[in-house]
Amino acid sequence: MAGNLTTGGGEDLPSDTNGKFANNNSLVVSFGEFLIDFVPIVGGVSLAEAPAFKKAPGGAPANVAVCVSRLGGTSAFIGKVGDDEFGRMLANILKENNVDNSGMRFDHSARTALSFVTLRADGEREFLFFRHPSADMRLHESELDINLIKQAKIFHFGSISLIEEPCKSAQLAAMNIAKKSGSILSYDPNLRLPLWPSAEAARKGIMSIWDQADLIKVSEDEITFLTEGGDPYDDNVVMKNLFHPNLKLLIVTEGPAGCRYYTKTFKGRVPGIKVKPVDTTGAGDAFVGGLLSSLASDLNLLQDEKRLREALAFANACGALTVTERGAIPSLPTKQAVLDALTKHHTS
């Protein structure tokens, strides 16, 4: 497994009782689904019209973990795949991308999840999922790598694992372990309505853990859905419905326009970088990965508006660069590519 990517050398570093990350206090652990996306080889067609499909690794939490690593950070992924060719392929992709995959588990009876994703003419997506049930839904609390979770500076998760047991209980237990260990809890609801039994179940499930998160990233569409028709551009709607007393940072992403941020003491907007979109898959995950990579190296950003704005401009650029190529993981940028894009943006 990819357990050798944490120390800078062979020197004796302070260690806790079981910490391969003990010397690294900037670990981002991402929890949730990891699957195979099948994407049409041509854009702008329905699934039925697609002449052929190309397979690509997918799943928001895994995308975030790879993004953090590609930007030079330290990350790990916890989740379950099938004990099949696709599952082993996904584990290997994490290893190749320097993401610790020791928290992955393999299910002997359920398959790795599949998702057919079509890119419409405008670059937006339509989904068709095969999860009846899939391996990611069958992660048990007893299979959690507790020591890995305890070492997380930031513990990141979504809402898809909350849809079914046993993975719902596994996620709640992992969140609890991380919280008690002093981790920052990061939440991207990542609404996928077709996976939930009903819209009401989705709303209730997503909001059920809202007040446990320290950091939440939500899109405009998700605000409208969660507030049952509220205006996502109205600060009062956002603050009244979605800000809670323990929240350190609430981010509203606005696609190519950038993002808005809300804390207890300040709020504002950071414009995005204009690019020509080819495929929006993974843009939100790249944004989250970009932000978490900055936060993992310095949590004090949350109290310093100027530096938070710089971190959000960096995250915006991560998202923007990701939409210029097809597929999420292949198009996630390096730190240098993001810095170059920001420099170009400021000088143009």
Tens-digit pLDDT profile for residues 296-324: 999 999 999 999 999 999 999 999 999 99
C-alpha closest to that of 223 among 255, 252, 246 = 252
CB distance 287 to 319 below 8 Å: yes
pLDDT at 240: 96
Q: Give bridge partners of residue 129 from the DSSP assignment.
A: 115
Low-confidence stretches of the chain (pLDDT < 50) are: 1-18, 23
Strands 74-82 and 99-107: parallel
Rounded to two decimals, the pTM is 0.92
pLDDT at 7: 31
Say how far apart CA 161 and CA 148 lie, in whole Å.
Answer: 19
pLDDT at 22: 52
Say how far apart CA 128 and CA 122 lie, in whole Å.
Answer: 18
pLDDT at 230: 96
CB distance 302 to 248 below 8 Å: yes
- Contacts for 180 with CB less than 8 Å, ≥ 6 apart: none
Say how far apart CA 176 and CA 43 lie, in whole Å.
Answer: 42
Among this protein's residues, is 304 annotated catalytic? no
Provide the 3-class DSSP secondary structure of residue 97. coil
pLDDT at 44: 85
User: What is the 3-state secondary structure of 52-70?
Assistant: CEEEEEECHHHHHHHHHHH
* Residues 22-43 as b or e (16 or more Cβ within 10 Å = b): bebebbbbbbbbbbbbbbbeeb
Catalytic residue (choose from 285, 298, 304, 340) = 285
Query: What are the structure tokens assigned to 312, written together?
Result: 């959000």
pLDDT at 345: 84
Q: Give the chain's largest Cα–Cα span.
A: 59
Query: What are the structure tokens assigned to 82, written together?
Result: 């099938």
Query: What are the structure tokens assigned to 346, written together?
Result: 């400021």
pLDDT at 245: 94
- Contacts for 91 with CB less than 8 Å, ≥ 6 apart: 81, 101, 104, 106
Any idea of the CA torsion for 47, 50, 54, 60, to the nearest 10 degrees?
-30
Say how far apart CA 14 and CA 19 lie, in whole Å.
Answer: 9
Say how far apart CA 270 and CA 295 lie, in whole Å.
Answer: 17
